[in-house]
Amino acid sequence: MAMTGSNNTNGKFKSVFEAKVAAFEKKRGMVPGGSKVLVACSGGPDSMALLHWLITNKGLETESALSIGVACVDHSLRPESKAELRMVKQYAADYGLAFYPLVIDAGVEAKASGESVETVSRRLRYEFFRKICRSEGYEYIVTAHHENDQAETILAHLIRGSGTAGLQGMQVLAGDIWRPFLGVTKNDILGYVKESGLPFALDATNDEPIYMRNRLRLEVLPLLQQFNPNIVAVLARLGEHVSADETYLTAETERRFNELCSVFKKAADGTPYLELKRHEVASLPDALFYRLWRYIFGLFDTGNTFSSAHVEELRQVIKGQKRKLFMCSQVKVAAQYDIIQIGRLVVTDLITHRFQVTGLRALSWSGPAEEPMPLQTGENLLIPRYLAPKGPVIRHRQPGDRIVLRRRDGRIWGHKKLKDWLIDCKVATEERDALWFVCGDKVVFQTVKPKTTTIVWDEQTTEYWACSIEEEK
Q: Which domain CATH number covers 286?
A: 3.30.465
Res 141 pLDDT > 80: yes
Weakest mean pLDDT among 20-34, 258-272, 293-307, 419-433? 293-307
Q: Give the single-character DSSP code of 401.
A: -
pLDDT at 378: 40
Q: 269 and 143 share a domain?
A: no
Residue 62: inside a domain, yes or no?
yes
Q: 61 and 89 share a domain?
A: yes
Residue 462: inside a domain, yes or no?
yes
Please give the C-alpha separations between residue 17 and each of 111, 196, 330, in angstroms, as whole numbers. 42, 11, 48
Mean pLDDT of 335-345: 80
Coil, strand or helix at 439: strand
Overall domain count for the chain: 3
Q: 120 and 230 share a domain?
A: yes
pLDDT at 306: 67
Q: 338 and 359 share a domain?
A: no
Residue 34: inside a domain, yes or no?
yes
Q: 309 and 421 share a domain?
A: no
Residues 39 and 136 sit within 8 Å (Cβ to Cβ): no
Please give the C-alpha separations between residue 129 and each of 82, 103, 114, 140, 213, in angstroms, as whole numbers. 19, 13, 22, 10, 22
Q: Which domain CATH number covers 188?
A: 3.40.50.620
The H or E element spanning position 460 is none
Residue whose C-alpha is closest to residue 186's, from 224, 151, 212: 151
Residue 105: inside a domain, yes or no?
yes
Residue 452: inside a domain, yes or no?
yes
Q: 371 and 309 share a domain?
A: no
Highest mean pLDDT among 17-26, 136-145, 378-387, 396-405 belongs to: 136-145
Instruction: Give the phi and the psi of residue 346 in degrees, each rounded to 5.
Output: -115, 170
Mean pLDDT of 235-247: 92
pLDDT band at 456 (very low <50, low <70, confident <90, very high): confident
- Hey, what amino acid is at 83? A
Q: Which residue has the higher pLDDT, 254 or 430?
A: 254
Residues 332 and 343 sit within 8 Å (Cβ to Cβ): yes
Q: 375 and 326 share a domain?
A: no
Mean pLDDT of 192-200: 93
Residue 252: inside a domain, yes or no?
no
Res 398 pLDDT > 50: yes
CB proximity list for 61: less than 8 A, separation 6 or greater = none
How far is Cα 347 from Cα 119, in angstroms, rounded to an integer?
32
Residue 257: inside a domain, yes or no?
no
pLDDT at 454: 62
Weakest mean pLDDT among 225-229, 240-244, 409-413, 421-425? 409-413
How far is Cα 250 from Cα 445, in angstroms, rounded to an integer?
38
Q: What is the dihedral of CA 394, 396, 402, 407, to 10 degrees?
A: 50
Mean pLDDT of 290-297: 86
Q: 30 and 133 share a domain?
A: yes
Weakest mean pLDDT among 320-329, 384-393, 412-421? 320-329
The angle subtended at Cα 319 by Cα 313 and Cα 322, nearest 5°, is 60
CB proximity list for 459: less than 8 A, separation 6 or greater = 305, 307, 309, 328, 329, 411
> Alpha carbon 296 to chain centroid distance?
20
Task: Select from 298, 329, 345 the last residue of a domain.
Answer: 345
Task: Select from 213, 244, 275 the last residue of a domain.
Answer: 244
Res 376 pLDDT > 60: no
Res 156 pLDDT > 70: yes
Q: Which residue has the higher pLDDT, 277 or 435?
A: 277
pLDDT at 366: 34
Res 381 pLDDT > 70: no
Res 355 pLDDT > 50: no
Residue 255: inside a domain, yes or no?
no
How far is Cα 346 from Cα 374, in angstroms, rounded to an integer?
15
How far is Cα 384 from Cα 81, in angstroms, rounded to an integer?
42
How far is Cα 265 from Cα 255, in angstroms, rounded to an integer?
22
**Average predicted confidence (pLDDT) for the chain:** 81
Mean pLDDT of 111-118: 82
pLDDT band at 467 (very low <50, low <70, confident <90, very high): low
Entry pTM: 0.68
Res 380 pLDDT > 60: no
Residues 418-436: pLDDT tens digits? Answer: 888 888 888 887 778 778 7
Q: 216 and 323 share a domain?
A: no
Q: 428 and 391 share a domain?
A: yes
Task: Select from 194, 215, 244 the last residue of a domain.
Answer: 244
Q: Which residue has the higher pLDDT, 447 or 45?
A: 45
Q: What residues make up the domain containing 71?
A: 2-244
pLDDT band at 337 (very low <50, low <70, confident <90, very high): confident
pLDDT band at 256 (very low <50, low <70, confident <90, very high): very high
Report the share of the chain in percent with pLDDT over 70: 78
How far is Cα 318 from Cα 324, in angstroms, rounded to an integer?
8
Coil, strand or helix at 343: strand
Q: 372 and 338 share a domain?
A: no
pLDDT at 45: 95
Q: 219 and 95 share a domain?
A: yes
Weakest mean pLDDT among 55-64, 358-367, 399-408? 358-367
Residue 370: CB atoms within 10 A of its CB come to 20
